Structure 1
Amino acid sequence: MDIKPLRYFQAIAEASSFTKAAEQLHVAQPAISMAIKKLEAELDLTLFHRHERQISLTDEGKKLLLHSRRILRAIDDARLEMEELKGLTKGEVRVGIPSMLGSYYFPPILMAFRHRYPELDLSVIEGGTWQLQQMLERSELDLAIIVADVLPQELHARTFLREQMLVTVAKDHPLAQQAAVSYDDFFREELVMFKEGYFHRKVVDRLAARTECTPNISFETNLIPLIKAIVNQGFGISTLLGMVIEEDPDLIGLPFEEPVWLDLSIAWRRDGYLSRANQAFVDFLLEHS
């Protein structure tokens, strides 16, 4: 089986469009259509349902997509490793970082890494931990920062930081006078939360399920400055890492009575090739944590 039709097939499946796939691949649409027809003839299977303006995978197409992703990922890994052995690549690091860490923990690390390795290309994607984990599993990222109580079997990870989630309140809030906050007291308040998929939100949802409480979420936003402003104005409370509020005199961070600790890890695909550029980033992060 030729590899090129598999790349065409995967692009079409992920874009749900022959036209969009052709644009992404910079290939004429008739060439892609012909390649897929030949692939279907070779397999003696129909891979796509073709509607007037939409396409979708058949059951056979869905199964081929799983194999296609594994095959193309293995080929790309092999090519990268061979190019590195010949010294032909400059090196690229694609790392996904949650917003809270991207704003407050990683900037000096990223700048120091670029200073040590100016020849490497560094691409940083911000997002929720669940989104980043999925991108990592789909090979859209080389590395990702995750918070996982149970590490998926497909990933390997190294913990680099342990941080406590703190109840965050305005300095004149009644809870600000307490040494610690119970879960019941926390869930009685109006909450300002990240949207679902972010580790900040997952922690709170997990606590709510464990204590059988219903969170009273009055604001949802992924913008940290907005969360801090809403809390500071007394319209709700939140939970944030200590690093986010340590230089903000108007906000108070309080531990839960039963402290909530997060183990932050850098992860990569267990079955993937960790390039020398990515290994350098992992080593650098662990060295500076």
Structure 2
Amino acid sequence: MDLNLLNTFMKVYELQSYTKAAEHFNISQAAVSMRIKQLEADIANTLFIRKGRSIEPTAHANYMMTKLAPASDLVYEALFKVGHKIYAPDLLVYDLANLDIDVFTPPLNQEQIFTDIRNRKVDLVLDFVTINDPSVVSEKVSEEEVMVAVRQDHPRIVDSITEQEFYNERHVSINVRREKSNLFMLLSDAPKPRDIAHEATSLVSQLAYVAHTDAISITPKRLAAIATKLGVKLLACPMKMNKAPISMLYHRSFLHNDEHIKLRQKVKNKISLRN
């Protein structure tokens, strides 16, 4: 079926006038009338009836609009709306949840992330990763302070923790997307061996494990609200820890793209509100 017939029908239905629909499409009233007659012939149903000098939709026309209106919105969105796909860790995904952006967990394989950037399969990546690649732009957008996560009713740790106590406890580790590295090793100037009780797949699952065991972990301060809801308290680190750098990575072809510039600024503004 010719989609022009459906477009004409919906505009006539909206305006309740062949004349106004003709003006909208910049065609003659006769052409509009011909399209409606063709559509009526195709579906074997009358769509509009004359009522004085105006027209009125039939029951079948009313039914058609209940189905066509939402379908038309979907078609318009698919053709004209600029959609964006972002990779972001759970550290940031909750901050980005209310933006009109599709946010996905980054692939576990670091090289896959870079491949997706190079192939334009993702518009933006937010993560602890960096890359030295002429086709990829890397901007540091945040530095996250880290703290020690401990369950609120821990039997040995109350309101503070010493370095000795830190290393005496079992730990939950969270890997970052760098080969054979985890968050603690990445940020500590002089990391010592720890007793690893569990390797978590995400920062939130790491906190969930802490909430149900005596194990402790290193976690970004940004997750304090979620930690509290899980029954976890965050304490100051007893040793010097560097801040966790979050980088924004994207393909260089997007550098001067107006829509992408708006996307980057929107993401930066949202992250900075909690930074």
Answer yes or no: same fold by TM over 0.5. yes
Aligned equivalents of 2:245, 2:205: Cα separation in 1: 26
Unaligned residue ranges in structure 2 (runs of 5+): 1-78
Q: Which runs of 5+ in 1 are unaligned?
A: 1-87, 115-121
Aligned partner of residue 192 in structure 1, secondary structure: strand
Whole-Å Cα distance in 2 between the matches of residues 196 and 145 of structure 1?
12
Question: Deviation at 1:123?
Answer: 2.9
Q: Please give the secondary structure, in 2, of the residue aligned with 1:213.
A: coil
| Residue identity in the other structure for 1:94 | K
Q: SS state of the match for residue 279, structure 1?
A: helix
User: Which residue pairs with 2:216 in the alignment?
Assistant: 237
Which residue of 2 is the match for residue 268 of structure 1?
250
Identity %, equivalent residues = 16
Distance 1:92 1:123, change over 3 A: same
Q: Distance in 2 between matches of 1:269 and 1:140?
A: 10
Contact 2:149 2:219 in 1 (8 A): yes
Show the counterpart of 1:253: 234
Matched, 1:191 2:171: yes
Cα pair distance change 1:105/1:135, threshold 3 Å:
same
C-alpha RMSD of the superposition:
3.2
Compute the displacement of 1:101 (Å).
1.6
Q: Normalization by structure 2: what TM-score?
A: 0.55
Question: In the alignment, is the contact (CA less than 8 A) between 2:173 and 2:183 conserved in 1?
Answer: no
What is residue 159 of structure 1 aligned with on the other side? 140
Q: Which moved more, 1:257-266 or 1:161-170?
A: 257-266
Q: Is the 8 A contact 1:146 1:264 kept in 2?
A: yes
What letter is aligned with 2:92?
L
Corresponding residue pairs, total: 185
- TM-score normalised to structure 1 length: 0.53
Aligned counterparts, 1:93-172, within 5 A: 93-102=84-93, 104-108=94-98, 110=99, 114=100, 122-127=101-106, 128=108, 130=110, 132-148=113-129, 151-154=131-134, 155-172=136-153
1:279 aligns with 2:261: yes
Distance 1:263 1:284, change over 3 A: same
**Distance in 1 (alpha carbons) for counterparts of 2:198 and 2:123:** 33
Query: Deviations 1:39-88 (Å, cap 9, x if unpaired)?
Result: xxxxxxxxxxxxxxxxxxxxxxxxxxxxxxxxxxxxxxxxxxxxxxxxx8
Q: Which of residues 75, 81, 106 is equivalent to 1:90?
A: 81
Equivalent residue for 1:221? Answer: 200
